[in-house]
């Protein structure tokens, strides 16, 4: 679809006033682009092409205030390291570190696997029979349900808080799309009730067009980060593809990443 250039180019000044009914992203120019931030209760899907540095944007938003950060790709420590490098203030972030849990589970599973026979050879059969005939299983063994963690955490969060899920890719690799959608939908409903902001990150173009459409349909707002080759250089664009009830906020902005993080350079209004 060709975007007709009928809008006006705007250079944005910094410092946006705090606006009622919006949650600020903490990136001034982005808040400006969104004219105040993310409307309360909105579910925002952040689609990122590979190389678009979505993870930096997300962390910068996380550094802006009281945020619950569900991380699947990086551990808490890795995230904090990056934040320090950019010299962002590190506020009170509530981390839900699925990444750590997942990798330690995988690791534990692997260790066990190699030692079944070893373990077997160490055990005396008579003792084993004795234990088997008297004991109660110590744990109800079941693998951790990460989707349930997401559901539970998004339910518990207080009013006007920001929740970041980075990223949905992990859940899609572990669970069926239907189940993931259900969880996302439940999180959306909770977020609407809490008048917070729910930011869901997923990689663009890897989960199938249909699923992407479903996610875009479910979201109140869709932000897309793209990398476009221009001659010998790459240009990065952030586009606001969808903004429910705020059609005029649809727009596109070029951005770069510098020492301070995400810098939006220019906004092009489409409407």
Partner 1 sequence: MPIKKEVCSTGIDELDLKMDGGIPLGSTVLVTGCSGSGKTTLCMQFLFNGARKGERGVFFTITEPLFKLTKNLEGFAFYDKKLIESGMVNIIDLRIISERLGLDTEKYTVEDAGALLDILKDIADELDVKRLVMDSITALCYRLQTREMIRDFIFKLGTSLAVMNCTTLLTSEVPPRTFKFSQYEIEEFISDGILFLGDVERKGDLIRTLQVIKMRGCAHTRTKFALNISAQRGIELLPLLKTTEFESLLKR
Residue 120 DSSP SS3: helix
- Interface with partner 1 (CB under 8 A), residue total 25
Q: Of these, 3, 21, 50, 115, which contacts partner 1 (CB under 8 A)? A: 115
Backbone angles phi, psi at 20, to 5 degrees: -60, 135
| Backbone phi and psi for residue 229, each to the nearest 5 degrees, phi listed first | -80, 130
| Tokens at 86, concatenated | 């950019």
121 binds partner 1 (CB under 8 A): no
Q: Give the footprint of partner 1 on residues 138-167 (CB under 8 A).
A: 138-139, 141-143
CB 63 within 8 A of CB 90: yes
Judged by CB under 8 A, which stretch of 32-40, 76-84, 110-118, 174-182 contacts partner 1? 110-118
Only segment of 2-10, 69-77, 134-142, 252-260 that touches partner 1 (CB under 8 A) = 134-142
Q: Is 131 in the site for partner 1 (CB under 8 A)?
A: yes
Q: How far is the CB of 130 from partner 1 (least distance, A)?
A: 10
CB 67 within 8 A of CB 93: yes
Distance from C-alpha of 153 to C-alpha of 96, rounded to nearest angstrom = 8
Residue 249's closest CA among 1, 60, 19? 19
Site residues for partner 1, window 198-217 (CB under 8 A)? none
Asked if 134 interacts with partner 1 (CB under 8 A), we say: yes
Tell which one of 14, 92, 133, 232 touches partner 1 (CB under 8 A). Answer: 133
Residue 35: φ, ψ to 5°: 55, 55
Shorter beta-carbon distance to partner 1: residue 126 or 230: 126
Residue 8 or 113 with smaller CB distance to partner 1: 113
For residue 167, say if its preceding peptide bond is cis, omega within 30 degrees of 0.
yes
Q: CA 95, 214, 169, 110 torsion: positive or negative?
A: positive
List residues near partner 1 by CB under 8 A. 109, 112-113, 115-117, 119-120, 123, 125-126, 128-129, 131-139, 141-143
């Amino acid at each position: 679809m060709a975007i007709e250039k009928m809008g006006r180019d705007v250079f944005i000044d910094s410092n946006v006033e705090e606006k009622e009914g919006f949650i600020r992203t903490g990136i001034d120019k982005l808040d400006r682009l969104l004219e105040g931030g993310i409307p309360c209760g909105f579910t925002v899907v952040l689609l990122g092409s590979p190389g678009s540095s979505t993870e930096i944007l997300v962390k910068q938003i996380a550094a802006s205030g009281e945020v619950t950060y569900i991380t699947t790709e990086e551990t808490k420590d890795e995230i904090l390291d990056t934040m320090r490098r950019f010299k962002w203030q590190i506020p009170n972030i509530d981390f839900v570190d699925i990444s750590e849990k997942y990798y330690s589970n995988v690791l534990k599973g692997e260790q066990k696997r190699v030692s079944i026979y070893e373990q077997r050879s160490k055990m005396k059969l008579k003792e084993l029979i004795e234990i088997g005939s008297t004991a109660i299983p110590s744990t109800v063994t079941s693998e951790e349900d990460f989707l349930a963690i997401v559901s539970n955490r998004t339910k518990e969060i207080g009013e006007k808080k920001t929740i970041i899920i980075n990223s949905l890719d992990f859940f899609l690799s572990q669970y069926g799309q239907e189940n993931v959608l259900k969880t996302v939908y439940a999180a959306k409903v909770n977020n609407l009730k809490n008048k917070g902001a729910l930011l869901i990150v997923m990689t663009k173009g890897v989960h199938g067009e249909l699923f992407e459409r479903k996610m875009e349909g479910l979201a109140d707002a869709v932000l897309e980060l793209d990398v476009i080759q221009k001659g010998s250089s790459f240009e990065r664009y952030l586009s606001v593809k969808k903004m429910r009830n705020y059609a005029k906020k649809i727009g596109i902005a070029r951005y770069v990443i510098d020492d301070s993080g995400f810098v939006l350079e220019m906004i092009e209004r489409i409407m």
